[in-house]
Amino acid sequence: MGSADTLAKQSIDLLEKLVAFDSVSRNSNLPIIAFIEGYLGKYKVPCKRVPSPDGKKSNLLARIGPEVAGGIILSGHSDVVPVDGQEWGSDPFTLTKRGNKLYGRGTSDMKSFIAVCLAMTPEFLKLKLKKPLWLAFSYDEEVGCLGAPHLLKYIVKNIPKPTFAIIGEPTLMQVVTAHKGVMSFETTVYGLEGHSSQPQLGVNAVHVACDLVHFLSTMASELSKSGMHDKRFKPRYSTVHVGTIQGGSARNIIPRQCSFQWEIRPLPGENVGALIKRFDKHCQSLRKKIKIVSAKADIVTRPMSRMTGVTLPTTAHAACQTVMRAAQTNQDHAVSFGTEAGIFNEHGVPAILCGPGSIEQAHKPNEFIEITQIKKCVAFMSRLMNEVSDNR
């Protein structure tokens, strides 16, 4: 096997190329998928694209070893979040080294994991595996895990069932066996515009929206104090958050419309349905009041995305033991961010999180990963080679 330093350098070289692709979710990811496909093609690794319904984006599934049941999936997402409005000290799409840190969008979340997977591919090919190692790279994870369901449907229908998956989200190479879910929504209030000097003749959509936002804030406070708690998570309770709000056209016009986007990040086992029902009940109460003024007034909430909160395989599970041996740990962790792991689980493929970088750097300006994290991931993959070579 190549030396650890050589493999780390190759990983960084590949990371530089991956970061250069502006694979923000609003863009097509086909250029970065074509690059990965071309790289794997040099090693004669069979690849299959699993495209989005409109064909503008694609997942990629690659196989190392025979096409038989069992084996492991190494999974990551190819998209990154935007850099708009963020103050960067360097070009976010140019990998920049400062000290022991590599800066660039996606360095932590999660192109470094993909880079290590690619750098290790020649080493995995030398093993002459009896069970496969799959590389699975998805699209649009950052906007609601839109690509993974198509990918998993293809996997379930078309390939022999893998034993489990490792999702390389940034966990500082810790083994994560539980994470919160994410459910996001957009609520729009439709009011009745008019002159601001006669508020009694209109329906102020901004006022109604603010009432609803306050209700969500109150619900969030209740969850933090008296709701379900799980000390494995930070924070240890389910959260409710409002991220954006837009409404109105001028100071002296009663606003006709106001929309806000919000989310629930529930603990595994949280009764999310009850939370949504509470919000809907409050919406119904306000809807009755505003319709007295205008029959056209309304409140409409639409779901935007859903990631299930999950408890992944326990430490007694064979898959978890395999990952723990490779990570050289006997401790598992839980995280508050959502991932594609729940989608794997729902399709019968147990999934565990373990990847380089810190979630604290993700989505921020000057996102970075420490070079030591890449080296730890290379060491993890090297030990994983011993696990798969034993055909466990």
Catalytic center residues? 79, 141
Instruction: Quote the CA–CA distance of 76 and 171 in Å, as a whole number.
Output: 13
Count, residues in the chain? 392
Instruction: Quote the CA–CA distance of 252 and 230 in Å, as a whole number.
Output: 48
**3-state DSSP call for residue 120?**
helix
HSE value, Cβ hemisphere, 13 Å, CA-based, for 204: 17
169 token code pair: 């989200």
β-bridge partners, 14? none
In order of 1, 9, 309, 333, 384, the CA distances from 99 in angstroms are 28, 15, 37, 29, 29
Rounded (10°) angle between helices 4-19 and 371-389: 110
Helix/strand/coil (H, E, C) string of 290-351?
HHHHCCCCEEEEEEEEEECCEECCCCCCHHHHHHHHHHCCCCEEEECCCCCHHHHHHCCCCE
Instruction: Quote the CA–CA distance of 54 and 62 in Å, as a whole number.
Output: 22
CB of 361 closer than 8 Å to CB of 101: no
Report how far apart the first and last C-alpha atoms of the chain are (Å, whole number).
20
β-bridge partners, 186? 261, 302
Instruction: Quote the CA–CA distance of 388 and 392 in Å, as a whole number.
Output: 6
Backbone φ and ψ of 297, nearest 5°: -65, 145
